[in-house]
């Protein structure tokens, strides 16, 4: 099966700066699984993988524009230190979730003075040319649910799944709405509850 949009793809890969400094790798863990065409991967890597199949290897160098985008100076902001009231120690390198115009983002503290804190909402790899090397280890059809949600559901997992809770309000991560062992939103009981509550709730319009 060749990789095309809406298929679930598993890859093992490593990513490195172009000078060879390794940044991340799935080598010692589970492969990365995603749905092709959902922009889960950076654009250049998704494009590179299209048409490949299990066993195919890839080795591609991407400019920042095709990876995590250019570094955006306007995403670096100085905010008053008083905003961090209640945080005992603010240190360079700390990161946290912040609400931004583009939705919740991870921001990193890049400078701390007595009065101000500089925070950077750029992706840590923004502005970098990156090399991705790896292998396709799985390609399968997505379930209807996965396509509706735009993300994969691990076999047997329910709404308690970590990424699911983070990405969606769907079901609110409330496992009690699901019968044991049922996957997210597929649960019969869940659908019934949804209709009582709101016709626009989970399952009908997660996206
Ligand atoms: Zn889901």
Considering only CA atoms, give the Rg of the chain.
Answer: 20
Q: Give 96-125 pLDDT, tens digit per residue.
A: 888 777 778 889 999 999 899 999 999 989
pLDDT over threshold 80, residue 197: no
CA of 185 to the centre of ligand 1 (A): 7
User: Which range, of 44-48, 50-54, 110-114, averages the lowest pLDDT?
Assistant: 110-114
pTM above 0.85, yes or no: no
Domains of the chain with bracketed CATH: 7-68+126-180 (3.10.50.40)
Q: Which residues contact 165 (CB under 8 A, 6 or more apart)?
A: 159, 173
Q: Which residues contact 167 (CB under 8 A, 6 or more apart)?
A: 151
Q: Which residue has the higher pLDDT, 78 or 158?
A: 78
Q: What is the pLDDT of residue 155?
A: 63
Q: Which residue has the higher pLDDT, 153 or 207?
A: 153
CA of 93 to the centre of ligand 1 (A): 32
Q: From CA 146, how far away is CA 149, in angstroms rounded?
A: 5
Distances (CA, A) of 157 to 141, 152, 173, 176, 183: 17, 10, 11, 13, 6
Residues around ligand 1, an ion, CB closer than 5 A: 149, 164, 184
Q: What is the pLDDT of residue 21?
A: 86
CA 69 to chain centre: 15
């Amino acid at each position: 099966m060749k990789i095309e949009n809406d298929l679930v793809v598993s890859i093992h890969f490593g990513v490195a700066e172009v000078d060879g400094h390794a940044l991340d790798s799935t080598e010692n863990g589970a492969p990365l699984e995603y749905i092709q065409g959902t922009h889960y991967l950076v654009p250049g890597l998704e494009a590179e993988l299209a048409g490949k199949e299990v066993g195919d290897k890839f080795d591609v160098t991407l400019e920042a524009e095709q990876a995590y985008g250019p570094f955006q100076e306007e995403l670096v902001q100085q905010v008053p230190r008083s905003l961090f009231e209640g945080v005992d120690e603010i240190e360079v390198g700390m990161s946290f979730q912040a609400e931004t115009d583009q939705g919740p983002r991870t921001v990193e503290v890049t400078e701390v003075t007595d009065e101000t804190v500089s925070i950077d909402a750029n992706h840590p790899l923004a502005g970098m040319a990156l090399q991705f090397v790896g292998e396709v280890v799985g390609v399968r059809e997505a379930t209807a649910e996965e396509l509706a949600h735009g993300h994969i559901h691990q076999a047997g997992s329910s709404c308690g799944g970590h990424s699911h809770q983070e990405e969606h309000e769907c079901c609110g991560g409330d496992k009690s709405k699901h019968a044991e062992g049922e996957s997210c939103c597929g649960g019969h009981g869940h659908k019934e509850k949804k209709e009582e509550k709101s016709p626009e709730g989970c399952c009908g319009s997660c996206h």
